[in-house]
């Protein structure tokens, strides 16, 4: 029987993955390893009573505790979601991001190598590529790494460690880099859930600078479907970009949320722009579409309406 160790499974994307694939693969054991930080909540897990699901409250920076988990379950694969991911928090306190995103990933790689796991899947972000101008082509898997904040720098460092373990030690690895996710279970410090919560409560919402920064939005259900494909069918050592194909400025996105919640511009509060704020992200998903027959299925208008409801 295969056993997949899922890090950060009580968080946003990890919980959506588990809720989808624990019931889809009843013959696979899923081990959720999560430190239960502010962005995680066991209430996100809808499959907690499933016989093929197990939870271990362990921080990936705690090597002895993590080692015990590997010994107890002898996983055959690792899908690594766990990460500190809030850019603002990385600017005010970068050390935690290095500890979790870099050292934590190294700990997992080392244990995976020792235990001879069959595949290590690093879940990364388009932010490692840096920023685009308005007319630049979208990021491909060949784009240079040019992170502009401590969060994205820590993820880029982790990606390079994963690559090195494939090249140096022959560990079977894959890396996926996604655009901005939205959907159920997202931590309410993130832009979309923060705006929805405040607008529904009649409070003001913050908008950085003039709101012209552009992001590509991907529904989390499309993301986890892509992760499953890459984990099972992706080529060892490869990187796959996963984009939603919906580029919106923060101002345009907020206008949609205002309309859908029955609010107006008086609910918007302009705030000082973030330091080193990347202007635009855009993902070219051609590789995963052609090689693995994946495509984003959730229309943004439909997805955001369902999320608000």
The whole-model pTM stands at 0.96
For 217-233, write each residue's pLDDT tens digit.
Answer: 999 999 999 999 999 99
Q: What are phi and psi of 133, to 5 degrees?
A: -85, 175
Sign of torsion, CA 124 130 135 139? negative
Range of the domain at 119: 3-181+218-243
What residues contact 128, with CB distance under 8 A and at least 6 apart?
145, 147, 152, 155, 156, 159, 177
Confidence of residue 1 (pLDDT cuts 50, 70, 90): confident
Mean pLDDT of 89-100: 96
Contact 31, 56 (CB under 8 A): yes
Give the tokens for residue 140: 């491909």
Q: Is residue 293 part of a domain?
A: no
Contact 304, 256 (CB under 8 A): yes
Beta strands in 46-128 (DSSP E): 53-57, 77-80, 119-125
Q: Is residue 104 part of a domain?
A: yes
Domain tally, the chain: 1
Residue 240 has pLDDT above 90, yes or no: yes
CATH number at residue 156: 3.40.50.720
Nearest-5° angle of CA 45, CA 50, CA 51? 140
Q: Is residue 151 part of a domain?
A: yes
**Residue 220: its pLDDT value, please?**
98
Residue 20 has pLDDT above 90, yes or no: yes
Confidence of residue 276 (pLDDT cuts 50, 70, 90): confident
Residues annotated catalytic, as ranges: 126-127, 151
Determine what percent of the chain is predicted with pLDDT higher than 90: 94
For 156-209, write each residue's pLDDT tens digit.
Answer: 999 999 999 999 999 999 999 999 999 999 999 899 999 999 999 999 999 999
For residue 93, CA distances in Å to 47, 149, 151, 273, 274 come to 34, 11, 10, 18, 14
For 47-91, write each residue's pLDDT tens digit.
Answer: 999 999 999 999 999 999 999 999 999 999 999 999 999 898 999
Contact 243, 218 (CB under 8 A): yes
Q: Is residue 33 part of a domain?
A: yes
Give the tokens for residue 139: 């990021």
For 117-171, write each residue's pLDDT tens digit.
Answer: 999 999 999 999 999 999 999 999 999 999 999 999 999 999 999 999 999 999 9
Q: Is residue 302 part of a domain?
A: no
Q: Is residue 128 part of a domain?
A: yes
Tell me the average pLDDT of the chain. Answer: 96
Sign of torsion, CA 212 213 214 215? negative
Q: Is residue 186 part of a domain?
A: no
**Residue 275: its pLDDT value, please?**
85
Confidence of residue 272 (pLDDT cuts 50, 70, 90): confident
Q: Is residue 281 part of a domain?
A: no
| Dist. CA 253–CA 172, nearest whole Å | 39
The secondary structure element, H or E, covering residue 29 is strand 29-34
**Residue 141: its pLDDT value, please?**
98
Q: What are phi and psi of 210, to 5 degrees?
A: -100, 5
């Amino acid at each position: 029987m295969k056993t997949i160790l899922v890090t950060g499974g009580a968080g946003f994307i990890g919980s959506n993955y588990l809720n989808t694939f624990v019931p889809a693969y009843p013959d696979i054991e899923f081990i959720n390893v999560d430190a239960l930080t502010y962005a995680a909540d066991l209430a996100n897990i809808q499959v907690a009573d499933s016989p093929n699901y197990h939870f271990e409250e362990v921080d990936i920076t705690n090597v002895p505790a993590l080692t015990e988990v590997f010994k107890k379950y002898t996983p055959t694969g690792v899908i690594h979601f766990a990460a500190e991911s809030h850019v603002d928090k990385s600017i005010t306190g970068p050390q935690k991001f290095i500890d979790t995103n870099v050292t934590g990933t190294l700990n997992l790689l080392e244990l995976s190598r020792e235990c001879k796991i069959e595949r290590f899947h690093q879940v990364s972000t388009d932010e490692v590529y840096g920023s685009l101008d308005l007319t630049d082509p979208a990021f491909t898997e060949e784009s240079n790494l040019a992170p502009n904040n401590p969060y994205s720098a820590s993820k880029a460092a982790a990606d390079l460690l994963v690559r090195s373990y494939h090249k140096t030690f022959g560990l079977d690895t894959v890396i996926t880099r996604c655009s901005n996710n939205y959907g159920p279970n997202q931590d309410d410090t993130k832009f979309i859930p923060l705006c929805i919560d405040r607008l529904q409560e009649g409070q003001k919402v913050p908008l950085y600078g003039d709101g012209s920064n552009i992001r590509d939005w991907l529904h989390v259900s499309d993301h986890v479907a892509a992760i499953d494909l890459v984990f099972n069918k992706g080529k060892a050592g490869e990187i796959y970009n996963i984009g939603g194909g919906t580029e919106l400025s923060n101002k345009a996105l907020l206008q949609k949320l205002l309309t859908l919640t029955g609010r107006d511009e008086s609910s918007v509060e302009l705030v000082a722009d973030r330091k080193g704020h990347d202007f635009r992200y855009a993902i070219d998903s051609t590789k995963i579409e052609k090689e693995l027959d994946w495509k984003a299925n959730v229309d943004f208008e439909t997805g955001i309406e369902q999320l608000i409801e």
